[in-house]
């Protein structure tokens, strides 16, 4: 936030982990600095017309596959100037902040122990472990259910104990649509809210044919 009086409050982007069944918030991970850019890719899910069926050319099988890519910087330098106020950072650098991000792609240790116990007693089928539902929050208008598809960390500077004190995090996310989750899932309702917001915005931005020098469609 700027220290100048009257400056607008800058909102943070980040990730919220929730329990998909209850909607309870489990963890909030606000990015220290908002990324300078956010790359979004939409891959249309069109019906395959390679067999020559021209009647299907305008049909869609469902929402597009939307993916997001971003890079975020994390820096402990300012916090290290006041170690008495930032004990965790003074002792371990950015490990805590990085761990909050990294554990999103790990099953919990309790889940691993439980599955190991099932294997020890000869359970034939062990259900894959389920993670909390991740929401990518980028303003109040974009709260997207996502699955992490890519995750890399570049640690760029270290303190005298080799704790990382500056890092760059690269995230690849896939938006979960109604085609990706069971009916009634929390992610499905969040996706529908996102789509309806798009439709409202699109409805207010329609142009005029005169912009193309046309009075009508031939």
Query: Are residues 66 and 40 in contact, defined by beta-carbon separation less than 8 angstroms?
Result: yes
Q: How far apart are CA 7 and CA 216, in angstroms?
A: 47
Query: What confidence score (pLDDT) does residue 1 get?
Result: 44
- Which residue stretches of the chain are H helix? 77-80, 87-92, 95-102, 109-120, 186-203
Query: What confidence score (pLDDT) does residue 84 get?
Result: 56
Q: How far apart are CA 124 and CA 118, in angstroms?
A: 9
Query: What confidence score (pLDDT) does residue 49 get?
Result: 77
Reading the block at residue 88, the tokens are 């965790």
- Enumerate the β-bridge partners of residue 169: 72, 153
Query: Are residues 46 and 59 in contact, defined by beta-carbon separation less than 8 angstroms?
Result: yes
pLDDT (tens digit per residue) in 43-84: 999 888 777 777 888 888 999 999 999 999 999 876 766 665
Question: What is the band of 4 on the pLDDT scale with cuts at 50, 70, 90?
Answer: low
Distance of CA 44 to the CA centre of its chain: 20
Summary mean pLDDT of the chain: 88
**How far from 108 is each of 38, 102, 132, 188, CA to CA, in Å?**
29, 11, 11, 25
Percent of the chain with pLDDT over 90: 56
pLDDT (tens digit per residue) in 129-154: 889 999 999 998 899 999 999 999 99
Question: What is the band of 24 on the pLDDT scale with cuts at 50, 70, 90?
Answer: very high
């Amino acid at each position: 936030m700027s220290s100048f009086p009257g400056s607008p409050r800058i909102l943070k982007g980040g990730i919220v982990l929730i329990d998909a069944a209850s909607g309870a918030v489990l963890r909030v991970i606000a990015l220290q600095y908002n990324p300078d850019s956010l790359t979004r890719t939409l891959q249309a899910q069109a019906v395959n017309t390679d067999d020559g069926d021209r009647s299907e050319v305008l049909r869609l099988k469902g929402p597009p596959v939307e993916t997001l890519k971003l890079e975020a910087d994390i820096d402990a330098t300012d916090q290290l100037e006041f170690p008495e106020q930032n004990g965790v950072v003074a002792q371990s650098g950015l490990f805590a902040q990085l761990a909050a991000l990294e554990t999103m792609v790990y099953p919990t240790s309790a889940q691993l122990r439980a599955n190991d116990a099932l294997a020890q007693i000869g359970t034939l089928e062990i259900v894959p472990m389920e993670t909390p539902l991740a929401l990518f929050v980028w303003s109040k208008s974009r709260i997207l259910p996502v699955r992490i598809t890519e995750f890399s960390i570049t640690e760029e500077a270290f303190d005298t104990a080799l704790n990382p004190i500056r890092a760059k995090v690269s995230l690849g996310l896939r938006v979960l649509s109604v085609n990706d989750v069971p009916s009634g899932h929390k992610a499905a309702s969040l996706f529908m809210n996102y789509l309806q917001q798009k439709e409202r915005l699109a409805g207010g931005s329609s142009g005029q044919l005169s912009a193309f020098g046309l009075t009508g469609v031939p």
